[in-house]
Chain A
């Protein structure tokens, strides 16, 4: 008998092993839901699949007469705009600051402590400040995402750049490269796959900040909707919305990973394990 840590699943086994827990969770839910409904037909906490499908139809296909829009799509569009704007600003800032801090000891000495200080502030704690400063509109929500994820991304990227072997930087200089050329041709390309990785890791926190901001002050958005219908215990809307948010998150993750594998194949060597 081989050791447990040497036993590796084949492709089919792996698929089965991965699917089993998901199927199990779904089954447990179905059994619990139908048991609850047998006892109390107006039960709201564990809605039946049928009830959820009915609600999805209403939210995703019917125009809400009050707003003149289809709620699910209006919410999705509003949330993705905020997320996109926040993450774009954060990524661009992280790239510029990360390269500067990672390459230049002078910049590290000057800006490092400031970024370390900003990074330890819990972003949600300054949400009131953002609402006071930027009002209740879009700006405050986007700024919350930016403040929430940028310091982590900057520090991670700066650390990655600073860890480029000294030999490479010296070799570049012996080949006549200036600081600018080293940044452009050596540090930037090696930063890109890490930046994408960093962005993938930041998606989770970014969603948290987005939904928090939307829950508190908004009139459209995925986070706004789930917190709105919570008042009516509308689990048949909340659960599909949460599933939809999870699905969007998975799609972004896969897209970013695919971009990184395609564009920076050298950074993804075939794994042995």
Chain B
């Protein structure tokens, strides 16, 4: 039996005596699109940081494809943040080439010759796929917010991550642009058979995009010591109708 893509086993996160997450036990199968919702401070972002490796659990374990996750970001997990996900000093093409450069050239961090040409072709195709085919030479500061997020997605996807982590990726965008991004991410998810974890504040977005919605909140409240109880996934809605269904709304 193949192990699940991502497995949280009784994970706790504590900062000093403040408990942020408690008893988080869940698995994510490959190909799932998991939306994560919950009130501010309910540990959504901490949950994502755990999956990213930016933070280590205080107790418990996290497995990726059956292997223990290192508490350090790595190339098997892609990420798109709400802001600052792209490099301001590189143009769009160079931003997408970055991962291939690092992979192919440990010493100079830059590919040359035929390898570079091949990498450029791949990067250009990826940029076309996210709708940035006409902005290869543009620097991030010259791109709109939506285009910057498209670039950040292309940059992550070219490394074919086993899991894509999105931290409120569309939170800073205009409503119209957000709808475009919804169809883009849905198309990419289907086409590349991605496994996605997405944190969002927008419940409609969560249900529209996800094949599963996790709601984080505190299961117990102590009014005298609210910090002593942590959050966990209190609701877990499977939305089985998703594969094949085209996004409406």
Contact = CB atoms under 8 A, between A and B. Distances in A.
Interface of A: 165, 167-168, 170-178, 180-181, 184-186, 189-190, 264-267, 269
B98 A175 contact: yes
Interface in B128-146: 139, 141
A182 B98 CA distance: 10
B103 interface: yes
Contacts of B88: 190, 266
Nearest to A186: B87
In the A-B complex, the 6 residue pairs with the closest CB atoms: A176-B75, A175-B99, A165-B84, A173-B73, A167-B84, A181-B109
A190 B89 contact: yes
B83 A167 contact: yes
Contact of B139 (A175, A178, A266): A266
Given A172-B102, A175-B98, A177-B98, 20 more contacts: A167-B85, A168-B86, A170-B73, A171-B152, A172-B98, A173-B74, A173-B75, A174-B73, A174-B74, A175-B102, A176-B74, A176-B75, A176-B99, A177-B102, A177-B109, A181-B106, A184-B108, A185-B98, A189-B89, A265-B139
Interface of B: 52, 54, 72-75, 77-79, 81, 83-90, 98-99, 101-103, 106-110, 139, 141, 152, 155-156, 159, 161
Nearest to A190: B89
A230 B162 CA distance: 75
Contacts of A171: 79, 81, 85-87, 152, 155-156
Given A174-B156, A181-B102, A189-B89, A168 B84 contact: yes
A48 B215 CA distance: 84
Contact of A264 (B54, B89, B161): B89
Contact of A170 (B79, B90, B103, B108): B79
B75 A178 contact: no
Contacts of B85: 167-168, 171
Max chain B C-beta neighbours (<10 A), residue from A173, A180, A186, A265: A173
Nearest to B104: A176
Contacts of B78: 174
Contacts of B89: 189-190, 264, 266-267
Nearest to A189: B89
Nearest to A173: B73
Nearest to B72: A173
Nearest to A171: B85
A176 B102 contact: yes
Max chain A C-beta neighbours (<10 A), residue from B74, B79, B87: B87
Contacts of B110: 185
A5 B89 CA distance: 33
B105 to A, nearest CB: 8
B109 A185 contact: yes
A171 B74 CA distance: 9
A175 B155 contact: yes
Contacts of B99: 175-177
Contacts of B90: 189
